[in-house]
Amino acid sequence: MNKIKRISVQLIIFLKYRKLFKIFKKTKRLLGKIHRKQKVAYDESNDFSKILIFFVAKIGTTTEAIHLLCKKGFGKDALVLLRTVFESFANFKYMHENKKEVQKFLLYELYEKKRMCRSLLDLETIPVNKQKITKQMTQLECEWRKVKHNFEYQDKKGKKQIMNSWSGKNLASICDKIGMKEEYDMLYRYASLYTHPTTSNALAYILGVTPNKKNIKLEIGMSQKLVKQVLSSTTEYFLLFLQIINEEYNLEFKDDIKLLLENLKKTTKKHKTHATTESL
């Protein structure tokens, strides 16, 4: 794609979806206002506050990356990151509705780090500081033994096993619990097609054949495809995330969030939210 065409695509995207970009920027500024509130702070005695700080950073950063990709005309690549935002929001919403699960989310990190250390120690061709890693492994093993009972279950043979995730549930089950099953079936599964090497993913970059039917026309680089769907869905999950924080800490941004959600719905002209149905 030559320079003139790149500029043309970016200009078309900006003009066509400027209202969506404007709503996203207002949402980003709202996150800044919420984050600056003294109530929304790390509290050693409050496990939920610990995960909140992480999700503020994670969702705030990933949505910004999506915004930049969409602005440049890389909607299909941004869809992969939307999948990440969806997964983060679903886990956060699940923990917000099940506060007793938050500690498990924090403790499971010990197991993940322990597994990583084991993988590093098993490396044969890549040089690593095995003495340092062994020391870390010993410390992690000591901490893990104190809490691993929270993640143990018996398999069909009666043998104790460790859960495959911090919650013991896959994402589909979590979404079912929090009323996001339809979004999982539609958006997450669709985004997964672009995340992994699939036929559907490959076909998305094929425009057709040349008039002489000897060559295939490929779409390489920028395009308008999926920009609207990805940007609108990203902004919506971003706003719903802020809505939970606002309710949790009884902040004053309820009306601001509600107005942005209403404007988003009007701009995208959707009857149902969360789904990229126009892409299917």
Residue count (the chain): 280
* 200 confidence band (pLDDT: 50, 70, 90): confident
Residue 274 maps to a domain: yes
Structural contact between residues 238 and 27, judged by C-beta atoms closer than 8 angstroms: yes
Task: From 257, 228, 265, 264, select the one nearest 240 (Cα to Cα).
Answer: 257
218 has a pLDDT exceeding 80? no
266 has a pLDDT exceeding 50? yes
* 221 confidence band (pLDDT: 50, 70, 90): confident
C-alpha span between 244 and 105 (Å, rounded): 18
- What is the structure's pLDDT at 255? 97
* 1 confidence band (pLDDT: 50, 70, 90): low
Side chain identity at residue 19, one-letter code: K
275 has a pLDDT exceeding 80? no
Number of domains the chain is built from: 1
Q: Return the CA Rg of the chain.
A: 22
Residues 210-234 have a mean pLDDT of 86
CB contact set of 50 (below 8 Å; sequence gap of 6+): 42, 43, 102, 106
Least confident interval from 23-32, 98-107, 117-126, 268-277: 268-277
Mean pLDDT, the chain, rounded, equals 91
- What is the structure's pLDDT at 197? 86
154 has a pLDDT exceeding 50? yes
C-alpha span between 261 and 274 (Å, rounded): 12
Residue 115 maps to a domain: no
Q: What's the chain look like in SS3?
A: CCHHHHHHHHHHHHHHCHHHHHHHHHHHHHHHHHHCCCCCCCCCCCHHHHHHHHHHHHHHHHHHHHHHHHHHCEHHHHHHHHHHHHHHHHHHHHHHHCHHHHHHHHHHHHHHHHHHHHHHHCCCCCCCCHHHHHHHHHHHHHHHHHHHHHHEEECCCCCEEECCCCCCCCHHHHHHHCCCHHHHHHHHHHHHHHHCCCHHHHHCCEEEECCCCCCEEECCCCECCCHHHHHHHHHHHHHHHHHHHHHHCCCCCHHHHHHHHHHHHHHHCCCCCCCCHHHC
The domain in which residue 29 lies consists of 3-99+223-279
271 has a pLDDT exceeding 70? no
164 has a pLDDT exceeding 60? yes
| Cβ atoms within 10 Å, residue 30 | 18
- What is the structure's pLDDT at 277? 46
Residue 266 maps to a domain: yes
Residue 29 maps to a domain: yes
Residue 112 maps to a domain: no
